[in-house]
Amino acid sequence: MNKMRFSGKIFKKRGGIFYLILSYLIVAVGCSTADLSSDKLKNPDIQPDLREKALTIFEKSLKARGGYNTYKSFNSVRLKGTDLWHSSLVRFFTPVTEQEQKFEVFFSTTGNEIKYLYLNGKRKGQYIGVENGKTYRVMNEEREFAESSKIKLYLKPLQDYFQWPYKLYESQVLLYAGETNIENEPYHLLFASSGGVEASPEHDQYLIYINKKTYYVDYIDFTLRSLFESYKGTLHYRDLRAVQGLTVPFFIGVSDEVANKDFVHEFLFSEIQFI
């Protein structure tokens, strides 16, 4: 009885955020695997033609943004900016403590190595990162390796979000998925997957929106199986500028769909450098 009263007091004190997290987990676990494919894409008879068309359009897009060879000529990227959060619930699953987190990050364009520096807040001056697939923190100038799902879940998407407009060209599956219009702008749709066309818990899926006028990538729908099997989100790429021969976004917003501009969080870059 005393334990129940004690738990009740804790729940009342912290109940809001814990209740939301618990509700979110229940809903997410109970939902089916998110699927960005369609019946047409699953037809093996037309997949070769859809792949050829997708490659042609993606190559035209890459050329419009500086060229694939230019991108491949760089080994790493440095980003400096602010991660502005609008959802403390989602931020709970990351190592970020500040609603407005300033940072500098270096990451490899060919591997998974990432080094992230907090520039403000409780952890100002501290580093976190990923090296050889292992997560670490730098505490008292010493690197301490310890498995952290929060670090991995935060840093890997940050790296991916920036690189997908180029890296998804290398996808195992790449198919033309049709056309659409968004706010009077026409788009080609390309479907990509790290595995098969069918949705599965092992492979993520992507839907790339290539503007027919500029051939820039304006949006990417994506799944994130490492978070939840049912999770599906959308990246909004804006404020495109030329940097060292490449056209890259200085703004990336994360929402639940293309039509929704209520972002979960926003990356606003002040500096971008290819190395």
User: Percentages helix, strand, coil for the chain, rounded to the nearest 5?
Assistant: 30, 40, 35
pLDDT of residue 139: 80
The DSSP code for 200 is B
CA 210 to chain centre: 17
Read off the pLDDT of residues 53-66 as tens digits, 9 standing for 90 and up.
999 999 999 999 99
Q: From the CB of residue 57, how many other CB atoms can be counted at a distance below 10 Å?
A: 19
The DSSP code for 87 is -
C-alpha span between 43 and 86 (Å, rounded):
40
Read off the pLDDT of residues 198-247 as tens digits, 9 standing for 90 and up.
988 889 999 999 999 999 999 999 998 877 787 899 999 999 999 999 99
Instruction: Look at strands 205-211 and 185-193 and give their pairing.
Output: antiparallel
Least confident of 11-15, 31-35, 41-45, 50-54: 11-15
pLDDT of residue 32: 84
Averaging pLDDT over each range in 9-18, 89-98, 198-207, 208-217, which range is the top one?
A: 208-217
Q: Is the dihedral of CA 208, 210, 211, 214 positive or negative?
A: positive
C-alpha span between 15 and 29 (Å, rounded):
21
The mean pLDDT of 153-161, rounded to a whole number, is: 95
C-alpha span between 37 and 198 (Å, rounded):
7
Global pTM value = 0.88
pLDDT of residue 92: 87
| CB hemisphere CA count around 149 (13 angstroms) | 6
- 138-147: b (≥16 Cβ within 10 Å) or e: eeeeeeeeee
Read off the pLDDT of residues 38-51 as tens digits, 9 standing for 90 and up.
999 999 999 999 99
The answer on pLDDT for 37 being more than 90 is: yes
pLDDT of residue 31: 62
Q: Which of these, 275, 236, 267, lies nearest to 250 by C-alpha position?
A: 267
Position 17 confidence tier, pLDDT thresholds 50, 70, 90: very low
Can you tell me whether residue 219 is helix, strand or coil? strand
